[in-house]
Structure 1
């Protein structure tokens, strides 16, 4: 498996720096994790959307969700566009229906996508990947995810404060992609130190810190005698398990 960072900015995109969007791929499958503001253009530089095995959305804040309308516009204006499977929190499709049509009773999303909703503990397949979603602690309904294929494992926190589910998701993961959006302790986000401590406590084998609005006060990198730690940036690629 290989991770490609399309974007990691928060809370809004900047020039050449989209919000949260991450591609996970192998020789057979490619899935998109989150589709925040500015991500769709970056996606097109890496893959034809028709090649996507699915999309997984952690929560419905714009920096993780706002470019789904761009994906929908692609689907509406591309002959023979693939009907991509999209998994997201309950209600994602209702928001999209109204956004795209302006009508409360519209069901346009079902004509464009295969619609799925995430629940805590849900295990499903996207392409050849096994996708295990867990509810995490954020200001809105939000999920983290653990994805496995053969003997490789990858975990992504989504946006969350400290919670037990996060350690479960990251347990012995070959790569843990963890948000670190807080400069000081916060209910709904992690500091870089908390993300690192979570990775160590879960025996994760490598860590990528993402969703950092700027280099936080007191941020030290790398930690001495640490597991491998990197900062997410657009275009970064990492083979999982190497």
Structure 2
């Protein structure tokens, strides 16, 4: 990979597995120094082991303000300002509308929306001019899927924030965009709350609609995350780039 992020500092939350880990690894390969944040310190340390001089590990939970502030403080102490913030941490649970209690709504919004927005906000004064914020939304902001009303709404809210912040932060020299992954083979898929046989059946239905005939890989998202954070994307603002294997085409 071309080292298009050489000299840049990037912060990635939810970096311990799946898309977050793939982004972390691709950013390192592209020349960036990174800060990785998640609740699993052992997984984060395994990333640092691949490039000890280029990785700062901060363990914590995006739903806890004190943890996010520690992430900002440790990053500033270690690197100073940053160039890229990727509030990637997220969760998904299948919850019927009938069971969408206030607690169920709060659980997913606290991670997917509040955690992501607060990560970006707390880093705002530490992002260099020419820097980038890259949110992780979902192809489900464009289509309906039963049982995912809460999850989809949390990501739709994040899409709206992406567009608004792109306009608000552009005068400060900060670009804001989002990637909307489609069906991607990550550990998150197995944690949505469905039984294995149901998961397999749903996966088969989804695969039948995907043009490649199978779920995408976290690396597919990571490649776009490199591009959007690079200088090559200097004229892209407020966009949600959908990478879904053609699911939303028809």
What's the TM-score once normalised by structure 2's chain length?
A: 0.36
Report which of the two has the higher share of helix: 2
Q: Which has the higher contact order (CA 8 A, sep 6+)?
A: 2
Report which of the two has the higher share of strand: 1
